[in-house]
Amino acid sequence: MEDRKELEGVLAVWKPAGWTSHDVVAKVRALTRMRRIGHAGTLDPGVTGVLPLCLGRATRAVEYLQELPKAYDAVVRLGVATDTEDLTGTVTETADASHVTGEMVREALARFTGEIEQVPPMYSAVKIGGRRLYELAREGKTVERTARRVTIHSLELRFAELGGPEPRIGFSVVCSKGTYIRTLCVDIGRALGVPAAMESLVRTMSAGLRESDCLTLERIAELAASGGLAEALLPVDRALGQYPRVDVGAAAAARAVQGQRIRMPQAATGGLVRLYGEGRFVGLFEADVGEGVLKPVKVFASADEFGRGTARQRTDDPKARG
């Protein structure tokens, strides 16, 4: 078994079908004998794909990894609707979809790029009146849900198998946090004038990590048993790579690692950024263009890495010491 003190970083797992995200976390906890493990975005049991786990101090990055866009490959069955919006549910409607053409599909997909509104499905973890929607759905209840705005960054047709007894289409999508792909499948069907349900789903990217970055649970078990899992972990800044990078000198980094504001380099733009000092990752900082400073949000480096003495220096600038 691994020494828990050695483990700190991001473990990219290829989640198999039939496992919940919590199951995966529990399995890795058992293999590593660690409690501080969190995942960066829930996957339903039937969905396979990229599930980033944060271990040790890297768990402090979970909330920021969850905010990043995710990518999926989905398959939609046309001509059938279910109560769960996927093929695991009870069929509620069928219709002939043989008239759907490839051109119709391409036109429909084009309507779902950019910012769109989605109504959360009844079989979801959204809470209304203190209860999860899926709890109400299992009781046969349907309640009114408020539409939510999500962003579809890209939506591309992968294939279209039309005209047969079970017409289906496949698409790749990059979307914002909170997007329900099942609902997107249903809405695409609605745009085509036919019922639809999600047939399968694979998460192909999360936190910038793809299948090539992932390990199977079997491989993770082997590495944990041999003491090699620490070398398989990715540095936390790798998973945060979609946030812009800002570099500063050693003196500014030493102050930043102490949680102090520092002057913002001219190259920086507003928003959350990854701060580096002499090539070493310091943490996540908020670039405040109005005040011209970088404000600490989450520091990952230790003071020892940049020297404690420099961090105590002061300047005449009350907003920043840099």
Instruction: Tokens for 76, please give them.
Output: 């939609």
- Active-site residue, selected from the candidate residues 44, 187, 213, 237: 44
- Determine whether 44 is an active site residue: yes
Instruction: Tokens for 90, please give them.
Output: 């009870």
Q: CA 182, 185, 190, 192: dihedral to nearest 10 degrees?
A: -170
DSSP 8-state assignment for residue 211: G
Residue 127 CB neighbours (<10 A): 10
User: Using H for helix, E for strand and C for coil, what is the string for 133-171?
Assistant: HHHHHHCCCCCCCCCEEEEEEEEEEEEEECCCCCCEEEE
Residue 267 CB neighbours (<10 A): 9
C-alpha 134/C-alpha 139 separation (Å) is: 9
Contact, 285 vs 272, CB < 8 A? yes
C-alpha 73/C-alpha 157 separation (Å) is: 10
C-alpha 240/C-alpha 40 separation (Å) is: 11
Instruction: Tokens for 313, please give them.
Output: 């220096």
Instruction: Tokens for 176, please give them.
Output: 């914002």
Residue 100 CB neighbours (<10 A): 22
Q: Which residues neighbour 309 within 8 Å (Cβ) at sequence distance 6 or greater?
A: none
Active-site residue set: 44
